[in-house]
Structure 1
Amino acid sequence: MTIDELRKSGLILFEAVVGSRAYGLATASSDTDIRGIFYLPVEDYLSGQYIAQVANASNDEVYYELGRFVELLSKSNPNILELLASPADCIVYQDPIMEQFKMQDFITREAAMTFAQYAMVQVRKAKGLNKKINNPMDRERKSLLDFCFVIAGHGSLSLRDWLSNRYWKQENCGLAKIEHAKGMYALYYDQIQTLGYKGVVATLESNEVSYSSIPKEETLCAYLFVNHDAYSSYCKAYNEYFRWVSERNEARFEGTMNHGQGYDAKNMMHTIRLLQQAKEILSKSELQIRRPNREELLCIKSGAYSYDELFVWSQELFQEVQELCLHSLLPVAPDQVKLRLQLVQMRKQLYRIKL
């Protein structure tokens, strides 16, 4: 099912422009994001052909099935609460049935904390991006050999250097496991390649060392330590880094690089916005979508602050939200029973069911 099919079938109950245009933070380069609510044809719903969400290819337009919308609403999901609280000039269409949802029923302590907690997730994302930007990884992937060290006196020497000093090859090495010594191996060398040693690794892409059958009369050359934990951590970081490179929004990344602060400034702008909205829920009993401090937030987006300054600011706001929540007289969470009955009545009305 596509969005066009929903529209042609008259199944859309609500749609609104969201994101930067709703916040009043749009600039010349801003996209137009649309979110909406629909209900399924009665045949699909009753036959179990349930579709929770429909989106376009770019994910700029996302529509939630009524039941999914109510489920997320019951959990005080920030995106869903913002959709329900859309400014009048951002609402593209609203079926009268949607008027049954009153925003005041969802102004709760849980709502404030979901906004605040979502904001802190953005802080961690920004920190992770900060680390990726300032610690780029080489495209050439390291081998397990780069995590191998030969015990030398009271210290150690990298296996590559140890072999190079002797003009030896890793392919001529033979390893034997040492019992009760994790990561430690006895290393032997076959200069004329007659003993069938398998090398330290079979190939440079190998994730494990190779074991060889060592004749009893062979002389031990060295003890080898393989830091498997460090190699595993490196592989995870390498995969995460280059997955990020392949999936990142290049235009947004260029903006991050241009302001020179080494973090995603748009991400941190939304962090402060979310925390300020959380405070407003608790102090004013309202969810204000259109932001009154456009210039301040766009200043953050431009990279005018350092990551450390914004981190401290976000921590202070989060503590304020926690303190306000502790003394708030707002309901703890939405009335789940009322919301469930509301959904039942809406489905009866939409499907003209009489029970």
Structure 2
Amino acid sequence: MTHPVNPLESVPDLVRSGTVFLSYRGSESHGTTLPPEDEFGTDDVDLMGAFVHPLEHYFGFGRRQTLERWVGEYDIVEYELGKFVSLLLKSNPNVISLLWLPPRSILVSSPAHERLIENRSLFASKAVYDSFCGYANGQLRRMTRLVDNNPEREREMEALNAELQHRRDMERVHGPGNHARGIYGEWSAKKLRKRLNDLRGVSGYMGEKRRRNVERFGYDVKHGAHAIRLLRMGVEFLRTGEFRVDRTGVDAEELKEIKRGLWTLKRVQSVSERLFTEAEDALRASNLPEKPSREGAEELLVGILKEQFKVSPEDASWR
């Protein structure tokens, strides 16, 4: 890791009231960070966590379920605990792998967080195949979208503009609320605008250095590395029921090679095709259940919230 294991002493605003856990995610947790001074370093410092709202959220009108913020160099995404569990049930790659993080990647923990980890088997299922392969497919498509004159880039920009306009129209008629739809259902308006600006080349995650890399190698090497990692992690999980989030000593150096442009686009695509086949074979041979345990997950969530608010087990209003 290039950043301190726990930066809380120097950046106290990282933690909010109600935080259940906060951890590194992305390249910091995978051991694949290329620092800014590296010629090919374009990695942000990403954190993800979960939190519990005040009690009135659960008995009143509710509050936002997803919070995105920047604190200094840290890009933070936090989910309300119920939202976090719902993403676990969908085998969301960015979320479910957090239950298998190495201790060095965890900045803040709590008894609620420990219970999630102790019960992570509730969320282990063959659904990982669709989720991880689907996300990997998306990364592969995005590899060349930012190459000039790519029609997929134009189509994505049209879709983003349409989604933003839909939300504005719905807010005018129905007022503020969650008006998201389709593939952008989990995206905030801020994230939609950021992605749109990225595609326009105005600002955002690409940055000048990353855009130069796309022009130099003919594809976005960072997306290529993500695709290979996702597929390998998915195959491993289907075979073992465990995620190896920290890729140090596994394939971290190889993934860094991809980020540095040492793999051609053709090689990334060829290895990806082979890994998709391995994933299909692993799915057929897997002993994991077909789907996560929704009932078990709900029982776990309710139990954590009861504990959080010191609700008596005899209080029938919570079941």
How does the TM-score come out when normalised to structure 1?
Answer: 0.64
- How much does 1:262 deviate? 0.9
Cα deviation code 1:126-164 (max 9, x no counterpart): 132346479999xxxxxxxxxxxxxxxxxxxxxxxxxxx
> Please, what is the CA RMSD of the aligned residues?
2.7
Map of 2:172 onto structure 1: none
1:88-145 superposed Cα distances (whole Å, 9 cap, x missing partner): 11111111122222333323211133112110111111132346479999xxxxxxxx
2:110 to 87, 95, 109: 95
Distance verdict in 2 for CA 1:264–1:348, change over 3 Å: same
Aligned residue number for residue 348 of structure 1:
306
Partner Cα separation in structure 2 for residue 51 and residue 135 of structure 1: 32
C-alpha separation in 2, matches of 1:347 and 1:81: 20
**Closer/same/farther in 2, CA of residues 325 and 246 from structure 1, 3 Å limit:** same
- For 2:273 and 2:305, locate their aligned partners in 1 and report how far apart those are by CA, in whole Å: 43
Matches within 5 A, 1:198-217: none
1:45 Cα deviation after fit: 2.8
Paired-residue identity, %: 29
Query: 3-state DSSP class of the match of 1:128?
Result: coil
Alignment match, 1:48: 61
What letter matches 1:246 in structure 2? V
CA distance in structure 2 between the aligned counterparts of 1:246 and 1:35, rounded to whole angstroms: 26
Which of 124, 137, 144 matches 1:120? 137
The aligned residue for residue 233 of structure 2 is: 277
Q: Which has the higher strand share?
A: 1
How far residue 332 of structure 1 moved from its aligned partner, in angstroms, is: 1.1
The structure carrying a bigger helix percent of its residues is 2
Change (3 A) 1:330 1:4: same
Contact 1:133 1:263 in 2 (8 A): no
AA partner of residue 112 (structure 2): I
Check 1:246–1:106 CA distance in 2 against 1; reply closer, same or farther (3 A cut): same
Distance in 2, matches of 1:135 and 1:111, equals 27
1:252 maps to which of 210, 214, 220: 210
1:305 match: secondary structure: coil
User: Does the Cα contact within 8 Å between 1:16 and 1:92 map onto a contact in 2?
Assistant: yes
1:76 and 1:106 in contact (8 A); partners too: yes
**Deviation (angstroms), 1:284:** 2.3
Residue equivalent to 1:327: 285
Residue identity opposite 1:284 in structure 2: T
The residue type paired with residue 17 of structure 1 is: Y
1:68 positional shift:
0.5
* 1:5/1:265 CA distance change after superposition, 3 Å: closer
Structure 2: how far apart are the matches of 1:132 and 1:32?
31
Contact 2:51 2:80 in 1 (8 A): yes
Aligned residues of 1:107 and 1:287 also touching (Cα < 8 A): no
Q: Which runs of 4+ in 1 moved over 3 A?
A: 3-9, 130-137, 240-243
Inter-CA distance 135–120: structure 2 relative to 1 (3 Å threshold): closer
- In the TM superposition, 1:79-228 aligns within 5 A as 79-101=94-116, 102-130=119-147, 132=149
Contact 1:256 1:262 survives alignment (8 Å): yes
Give the aligned residue type for 2:94.
N
User: Structure 1: which 5+ runs fail to align?
Assistant: 138-239
1:266 and 2:222 are equivalent in the alignment: yes
Between the aligned partners of 2:124 and 2:237, the Cα distance in structure 1 is 7
- Structure-1 separation of matches of 2:272 and 2:298: 35
Q: Secondary structure, in 3 states, of the residue corresponding to 2:244? A: coil
Which residue, 21, 24, 39 being the options, matches 2:31?
A: 24
Q: CA–CA distance in 1 between the matches of 2:152 and 2:19?
A: 47
Aligned-partner residue type, residue 135 of structure 2: Y
Change (3 A) 1:46 1:245: same
Q: Secondary structure at the match of 2:49?
A: strand
Q: What's the counterpart of residue 15 of structure 1?
A: 22
Report the CA distance between 1:242 and its aligned residue: 9.2
1:307 to 265, 283, 289: 265
Does the C-alpha gap of structure 1 residues 307 and 127 become closer, same or farther in structure 2, counting only changes over 3 Å? same
SS of equivalent residue, structure 2 residue 145: helix
How far the C-alpha of 1:330 sits from its partner, in A, is: 1.0
Q: Find the aligned partners of 1:109 and 1:83 in 2 and give their Cα distance.
A: 18
Rg comparison, structure with higher value: 1
Which residue does the alignment assign to 2:85? Answer: 70
CA contact (8 A) 2:28 2:45 kept: yes
Alpha-carbon distance, 1:317 to partner: 0.5
Give the letter for the 2:129 counterpart: A
- Corresponding residue for residue 35 of structure 1: 48
Where in structure 2 are there 5+ consecutive unaligned residues? Answer: 1-10, 37-42, 155-195
**Structure 2 Cα separation of the partners of residues 243 and 72 of structure 1:** 27
